[in-house]
């Protein structure tokens, strides 16, 4: 059997296709090799060698396939472990992201609610401040009007008292007796009804009546009643009245001292409350500024956390894509290496077969192996075609005379050596490229792992900082609430101080003047009882 008989096998045309499509071959060498493979006259009776070559090729391919399958199974097991680890890590990271997103949503809702409450509180504070300003303005107007009315009434009472004193004087009585009828003297209440001069008790009564009319004091009215009662007693009883007047003077002095003490207390409390109010307002404004700053900081941290999470997801995706690409490249490399090794084996076997014919000394006999069932069938003379059974073609005409070896065999063998050398060089280049690609992939995985670890560390730091800022935000909110409460309490204290102290603060001078007048009148009354004459 020649080259044409070899190519009739199910996979026999692969060598012819390889020679036809191999790029690193000269056109003339390709034509010579194809002519040799198509020439059947030179290979008659060599079917057993061809079958041996194919058997050796099959054994080599099975061994390589077994090694490739074992290596692939090992790679698949390693990849499965890595994939399970990465899926577990992704699952844990996903759960952490969902937890953080849920918490971020809750915090965002709490921030919005707090902002709404802050706006309501600010509006309420503005309305209260406006009402307080209006109230202070109205109170100032009313207090001014009240002071004017009080001053006018005091002037009126003073004028009436002076008029009554003038009309009740002893000289005025004499004038009225001479100028008016006695009946008029009896009916007019502010004239004396006796013919004699007024006694000291009457004069004291008149002085006390004038003071009581001005001051409207309960104690003065009681003293006036006592003096009126003593008019019916002997003169020695006036010592008790003098003592009552002295007690009244002491009481008025004590009341004046209490007013002065109350005024000093009120002024001190007003100053203290004003300082506390200013400090609380300053602290409230500082707390609001800090709340705004913390809110902005938390928002920035959330954006940075989202960016880091997106970066980690993108990095994981790029790693997965690179891994898939590396698998495809490795599979292509393994397949191409197998094809090149198969081609080299075929060319080597073809070359060895040619060496057997043209250069027997260079021929390498195939190792003897136990014949397979196919070889036994072939040895027995039976040949089964794979595709269909047809009648064998007629035997070609054999040339007559002694056979001559072709002189072109050296060129064909040299061309086969070139093909084998080119295939070996290609395999070395492919091995180098595969090694370089594997190194680049390992470096990429190391860089990606380092980058991911850095991003994860940064993400953890950002999340920790965000948690700290959130805790600080809650603390600041509590401080602001406490400050608002303190401010309300201070406002309440100020309102209580106004209720308790406004009257004293606004009428202190008038009360001092009235008490001074009362004390002076009481001293005059005592002097009258002691025998003084102010006429």
Q: How does pLDDT run across 306-341, given as a tens digit for each residue?
A: 998 998 999 899 899 999 998 999 999 999 988 888
Q: What is the C-alpha separation between 329 and 519, in angstroms, rounded?
A: 118
Q: Is the pLDDT of residue 182 over 70?
A: no
Q: Is the pLDDT of residue 213 over 60?
A: no
Q: What is the pLDDT of residue 169?
A: 61
Range with the lowest mean pLDDT among 53-67, 159-173, 390-404?
390-404
Q: What is the C-alpha separation between 323 and 314, in angstroms, rounded?
A: 14
Residue 430: exposure state from Cβ atoms within 10 A (0-12, 13-18, ≥19): middle
The DSSP call for residue 362 is G
Between 441 and 162, where is the model more confident? 441
Tell me which residue of 330, 355, 303, 339 sits closest to 459, measured CA to CA.
303
Q: What is the C-alpha separation between 114 and 278, in angstroms, rounded?
A: 24
Averaged pLDDT for residues 24-30: 71
Averaged pLDDT for residues 369-384: 58
Q: Is the pLDDT of residue 42 over 50?
A: no
Q: Does residue 188 fall inside a structural domain?
A: yes
Task: Band the pLDDT of 59: cuts 50, 70, 90.
Answer: confident
Averaged pLDDT for residues 207-221: 57
CA-CA-CA-CA torsion sign (265, 270, 273, 275): negative
511-514 contacts, C-beta under 8 A, 24 or more apart: 511/256, 511/259, 512/256, 512/259, 514/154, 514/214, 514/215
Q: What is the C-alpha separation between 255 and 339, in angstroms, rounded?
A: 123
Q: What is the pLDDT of residue 118?
A: 92
Q: Is the pLDDT of residue 16 over 70?
A: yes
Residue 254: exposure state from Cβ atoms within 10 A (0-12, 13-18, ≥19): exposed
Q: What is the pLDDT of residue 313?
A: 92
pLDDT in tens, 475-532: 999 998 998 898 888 888 888 888 888 888 888 888 888 878 878 877 777 777 666 5
Helix (H, G, I), strand (E, B) or coil at 370: coil
- Find the domain containing 178 and state its range: 168-198
Q: What is the pLDDT of residue 69?
A: 93
Q: What is the pLDDT of residue 140?
A: 86
Q: Does residue 152 fall inside a structural domain?
A: no
Return the residue matching tokens 């009739």.
Answer: 8
Q: Is the pLDDT of residue 387 over 60?
A: no
Q: Is the pLDDT of residue 47 over 50?
A: no
Q: What is the pLDDT of residue 57?
A: 64
Q: What is the pLDDT of residue 73?
A: 92
Task: Band the pLDDT of 44: cuts 50, 70, 90.
Answer: very low
Q: What is the pLDDT of residue 76?
A: 92
Q: What is the pLDDT of residue 524?
A: 75
Q: What is the pLDDT of residue 79?
A: 92
Mean pLDDT (the chain) is 76
* Cβ–Cβ < 8 Å for 308, 464: no
Helix (H, G, I), strand (E, B) or coil at 365: coil
138-145 contacts, C-beta under 8 A, 24 or more apart: 139/502, 143/502, 143/506
Q: Does residue 266 fall inside a structural domain?
A: no
Return left, alpha or beta for 265; rule: phi > 0 is left, psi -120 to 50 is alpha, else beta: alpha
Percent of the chain with pLDDT over 90: 13
Q: What is the C-alpha separation between 105 and 103, in angstroms, rounded?
A: 5
Averaged pLDDT for residues 65-81: 91
Q: Does residue 175 fall inside a structural domain?
A: yes
Max avg pLDDT among 92-96, 384-388, 497-501: 92-96
Domain count, the chain: 1
Q: Is the pLDDT of residue 100 over 60?
A: yes
Please give the full DSSP string across 435-504, using - where no structure is assigned. HHHHHHHHHHHHHHHHHHHHHHHHHHHHHHHHHHHHHHHHHHHHHHHHHHHHHHHHHHHHHHHHHHHHHH
Q: What is the pLDDT of residue 519?
A: 80
pTM over 0.85: no
Q: Does residue 85 fall inside a structural domain?
A: no
Between 181 and 505, where is the model more confident? 505
Return the residue matching tokens 């097991």.
Answer: 77
Q: Does residue 293 fall inside a structural domain?
A: no
Q: Does residue 174 fall inside a structural domain?
A: yes
Q: What is the pLDDT of residue 192?
A: 43
pLDDT in tens, 255-267: 888 888 888 888 8
Q: Does residue 179 fall inside a structural domain?
A: yes
Q: What is the pLDDT of residue 70?
A: 92
Q: What is the pLDDT of residue 20?
A: 76
Q: What is the pLDDT of residue 90?
A: 92
Q: What is the C-alpha separation between 331 and 437, in angstroms, rounded?
A: 13
3-state secondary structure 83-112: HHHHHHHHHHHHHHHHHHHHHHHHHHHHHH
Tell me which residue of 472, 118, 424, 533 sits closest to 295, measured CA to CA.
472
């Amino acid at each position: 059997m020649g080259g044409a008989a070899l190519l009739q096998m199910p996979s026999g045309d692969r060598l012819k296709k390889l020679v036809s499509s191999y790029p690193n071959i000269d056109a003339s060498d390709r034509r010579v090799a194809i002519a040799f493979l198509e020439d059947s006259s030179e290979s008659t009776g060599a079917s057993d060698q061809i079958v041996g070559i194919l058997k050796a090729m099959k054994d080599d391919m099975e061994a390589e396939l077994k090694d490739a399958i074992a290596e692939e199974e090992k790679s698949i097991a390693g990849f499965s472990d890595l994939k399970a680890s990465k899926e577990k890590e992704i699952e844990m990271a996903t759960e952490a992201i969902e937890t953080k997103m849920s918490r971020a949503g809750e915090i965002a809702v709490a921030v919005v609610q707090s902002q709404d409450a802050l706006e309501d509180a600010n509006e309420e504070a503005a309305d209260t401040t406006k009402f307080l300003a209006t109230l202070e303005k109205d109170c100032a107007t009313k207090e001014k009007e009240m002071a004017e009315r009080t001053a006018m009434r005091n002037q009126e009472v003073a004028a009436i008292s002076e008029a009554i004193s003038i009309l009740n004087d002893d000289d005025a009585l004499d004038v009225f007796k001479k100028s008016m009828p006695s009946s008029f003297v009896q009916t007019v209440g502010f004239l004396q009804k006796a013919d004699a001069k007024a006694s000291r008790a009457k004069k004291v009564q008149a002085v006390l009546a004038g003071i009581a009319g001005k001051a409207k004091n309960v104690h003065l009215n009681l003293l006036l009643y006592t003096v009126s009662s003593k008019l019916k007693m002997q003169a020695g009883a006036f010592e008790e009245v003098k003592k009552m007047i002295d007690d009244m003077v002491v009481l008025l002095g004590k009341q004046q001292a209490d007013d002065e003490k109350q005024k000093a207390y009120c002024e001190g409390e007003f100053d203290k409350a004003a300082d506390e109010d200013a400090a609380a307002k300053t602290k409230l404004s500082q707390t609001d500024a800090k709340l705004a700053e913390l809110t902005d900081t938390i928002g920035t941290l959330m954006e940075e956390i989202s960016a880091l999470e997106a970066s980690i997801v993108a990095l994981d995706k790029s790693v997965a894509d690179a891994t898939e690409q590396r698998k495809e490249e490795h599979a292509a490399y393994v397949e191409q290496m197998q094809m090149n090794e198969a081609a080299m084996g075929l060319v080597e076997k073809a070359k060895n077969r040619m060496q057997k014919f043209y250069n027997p000394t260079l021929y390498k006999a195939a190792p003897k192996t136990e014949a397979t069932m196919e070889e036994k069938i072939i040895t027995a003379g039976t040949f089964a075609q794979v595709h269909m059974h047809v009648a064998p073609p007629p035997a070609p005409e054999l040339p007559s005379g002694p056979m001559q070896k072709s002189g072109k065999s050296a060129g064909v063998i040299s061309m086969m050596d070139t093909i084998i050398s080119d295939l070996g060089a290609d395999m070395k280049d492919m091995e180098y490229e595969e090694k370089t690609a594997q190194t680049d992939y390992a470096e990429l995985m190391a860089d990606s792992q380092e980058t991911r670890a850095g991003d994860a560390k940064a993400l953890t730091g950002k999340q920790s900082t965000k948690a700290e800022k959130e805790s600080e935000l809650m603390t600041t909110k509590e401080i602001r609430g406490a400050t608002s409460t303190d401010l309300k309490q201070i406002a309440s204290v100020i309102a209580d101080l106004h209720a308790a102290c406004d009257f004293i603060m606004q009428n202190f001078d008038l009360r001092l003047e009235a008490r001074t007048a009362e004390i002076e009148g009481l001293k005059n009354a005592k002097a009258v009882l002691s025998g003084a004459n102010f006429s």
